[in-house]
């Protein structure tokens, strides 16, 4: 599914597969350029998201502080992460970050089932955030 978000004279386009593109109107027509960003996702409780917005950076949720890095998921991993750790929790936010923009501070390490998960070894900054979406209450697979 494509979604257009107006940003001044350029439109960001979500392709629904973790990639984004941009469209710039030219004489009433739009052209599209695929930026192929690798997006990763962090689920925050409302107070954690509010803290990041107010302070400009965060070491993450308590589990992130305990482990020494900020846990992220890919688009393919996010639903399972939500179900496993956030089932039944209200007021959640899905934070989107461009993985490539994090540089060497982002490490891909084995976790659940040996899958590689993105881990950020520094504070997450508000300037890293490319999007935020309120999530509905996640139902567990047993509901």
- Tell me the pairing of strands 116-120 and 29-34: unpaired
- Asked if 40 and 118 count as a contact pair (C-beta separation under 8 A), the reply is yes
**Single pTM value for the model:** 0.73
> pLDDT at position 112, please?
86
Residues of the chain predicted below pLDDT 50: 1-34
pLDDT at 132: 96
Digit-coded pLDDT (tens) for 85-120: 999 999 999 999 999 999 999 999 999 888 999 999
CA distance 130 to 14: 12
């Amino acid at each position: 599914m494509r979604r257009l978000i107006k940003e001044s004279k350029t439109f960001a386009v979500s392709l629904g597969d973790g990639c984004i593109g941009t469209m710039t109107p030219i004489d009433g027509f739009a052209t599209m350029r695929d930026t192929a960003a690798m997006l990763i996702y962090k689920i925050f409780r409302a107070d954690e998201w509010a803290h990041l917005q107010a302070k400009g950076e965060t070491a993450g949720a308590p589990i992130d502080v305990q482990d020494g890095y900020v846990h992220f998921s890919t688009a393919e991993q996010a639903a399972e992460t939500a179900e496993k750790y956030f089932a039944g929790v209200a007021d959640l936010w899905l934070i989107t970050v461009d993985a490539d923009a994090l540089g060497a501070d982002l490490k891909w390490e084995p976790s659940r089932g040996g899958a590689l998960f993105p881990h950020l070894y520094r504070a997450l900054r508000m300037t890293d955030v490319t999007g935020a979406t309120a999530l509905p209450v996640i139902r567990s697979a047993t509901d």
